[in-house]
Amino acid sequence: MSVLAEPMAGSRPRTPAGRVVATLNRSVIHVALGLIGLIWLVPTLGLLVTSFRPRSDIQATGWWDIFQLHLTLDNYRQVLEAQGMLQAFVNTVFIAVPSTILPLAICALAAYAFSWVRFPFRDTLFLIVVAFLLVPVQVAFIPLLTTSRDLVPDLQLTRGYVAVWLAHTAFALPFGIFLLRNFFITLPPDMIEAARIDGASDFRVFSTIVVPVSVPAIAAYGIFQFLWVWNDLLMALVFVQDSSKFPMTRAIQNLLSQYGTEWHLLAAGAFLLMIVPLIVFFSLQRYFVQGLLAGSIK
């Protein structure tokens, strides 16, 4: 009997009916995912439309009333100029960028050490790091705030950005080390050993071999950390004491307390807070997807 006469096990016969069924299955999945995505986008679309509408229109009709839409940029002008949101935007950048780069560098170095450097109690220390994932960050706020404000009063860490940088970095380390270490251990051992035989130091192996092939995982963690810091309110409330250095999340909170019924201003401020994470996510989406799948297949 000819081998070509029988279809391969587990494969769908390449017949017109089989291709139609496969196309229908993919179409149903795509339609379902499209509907889910549309449902998730409806609040964002409503917020965007509301941010451009005058206050009188918001109080009279809903944002979906396309026949009575009168759009204006005055909401954004008022929020940026009168409410100080532009300075808050700059403050958020000053907080988010170092709070992403610092833990990213430390986590990558620590993950490499836990993966490819032999030292006493390596696995025990890694289990301790993983155990820190179970500790709620809220329980450490009071000790950290007391330490940064009282034990080193001359530095005035809470009057600037240093305290919030250190806090974000400290709380990001366990997850970052865990995530990157799980990817680094999937790298081919022969590649690492060949570089060491050629005389490369651990830092050279890390910088010239591990980092270039681990860009998806490192980028995925960087996206996670940046979005977390950008949208954070709790640490900003605790570790940023100078009102001139408040990030956008605290500015939005103040805007809410002062203008609780000014929905046009709240919508404009909220969308300004959202726009940067959206740009970062969609521009780095390729790395984000690759990083989520990194290490799943060797």
Span(s) in the chain for CATH 1.10.3720.10: 77-293
- Whole-number pLDDT of residue 7: 46
- Whole-number pLDDT of residue 169: 92
Q: Show Cβ contacts of residue 21 under 8 Å, excluding neighbours closer than 6 positions.
A: 12
- Whole-number pLDDT of residue 70: 79
CATH level 3 topology of 77-293? MetI-like fold (1.10.3720)
Reported pTM: 0.78
> What's the CA gap between 110 and 218, in Å, rounded?
13
Q: Which residue has the tokens 């560098």?
A: 105
> What's the CA gap between 32 and 82, in Å, rounded?
44
DSSP symbol at 27:
H
How many residues are recorded in the chain?
298
- Whole-number pLDDT of residue 102: 94
Contacts 24+ apart (CB under 8 A), 48-51: 48/271, 50/263, 50/264, 50/267, 51/75, 51/76, 51/264, 51/267, 51/268, 51/270, 51/271
Q: pLDDT tens digits, residue range 39-59? A: 888 888 888 888 888 888 887
User: What are the strands, taking DSSP E only, across the chain?
Assistant: none
- Whole-number pLDDT of residue 9: 45
pLDDT tens for the chain, 298 residues: list them.
Answer: 444 444 444 444 467 666 666 666 677 787 888 888 888 888 888 888 888 888 888 877 777 877 777 788 888 888 887 667 888 889 999 999 999 999 999 999 999 999 998 889 998 999 999 898 888 888 888 777 777 666 666 566 667 788 889 889 989 999 999 989 988 998 888 888 888 888 888 889 998 889 888 888 898 899 889 999 999 888 888 888 888 888 988 888 777 766 556 778 888 888 888 888 888 878 877 766 665 555 444 4
- Whole-number pLDDT of residue 111: 93
Q: pLDDT tens digits, residue range 233-258? A: 888 888 888 888 889 888 887 777 66
- Whole-number pLDDT of residue 215: 86
> What's the CA gap between 189 and 116, in Å, rounded?
9
> What's the CA gap between 148 and 141, in Å, rounded?
11
Q: 104 — phi, psi (to 5°)?
A: -65, -45
